[in-house]
Amino acid sequence: MKFAAINASASGSNAIVAAVTGKRIRVVSYVIVAAGAVTATWQSASTALSGPMSLASSGGASASVGILAPGGAYGLFQTEPGEALNLSLGGAVNVAGHLCYIEVNV
């Protein structure tokens, strides 16, 4: 299990976890909170992994899987092999939080 801090503020794509050659990044939990009203979309490089989530000022979103299976079989979403996990913002608003993820061999 690996962990990453989320501190994104640029409009458009913000890198959260760098790409790893030959591996997918599988997210098992996350929490995000926005400093202002903004939409946030999880992405594999530039491909959407979630729909745009409308966050209110001081509002947020969170999700997690209840049980992590042996070998990390379960997750919320995952990147394509060798692609970074990004958070795309609909405006220049600070979105902060954290996530747990695993790297999955392809």
Q: Which of 23, 12, 15 is nearest to 99 (CA)?
A: 15
- Name the amino acid, one letter, at 54: S
- The pTM score is 0.93
Residue 8: CATH number of its domain: 2.60.120
Give tens-digit pLDDT for 25-63.
999 999 999 999 999 999 999 999 999 999 999 999 999
Give tens-digit pLDDT for 63-101.
998 665 555 568 899 999 999 999 999 999 999 999 999
> Residue 21's domain spans which residues?
2-105
∠ CA 11-50-95, rounded to 5°: 40
Note the pLDDT of residue 65.
Answer: 85
Kindly state the helix (H) or strand (E) to which residue 66 belongs, with its residue range.
Answer: none
Q: Write down the residue that tokens 């990453």 correspond to.
A: 4
Q: How many domains does the chain have?
A: 1
Q: Write down the residue that tokens 């976890």 correspond to.
A: 17
Note the pLDDT of residue 51.
Answer: 97
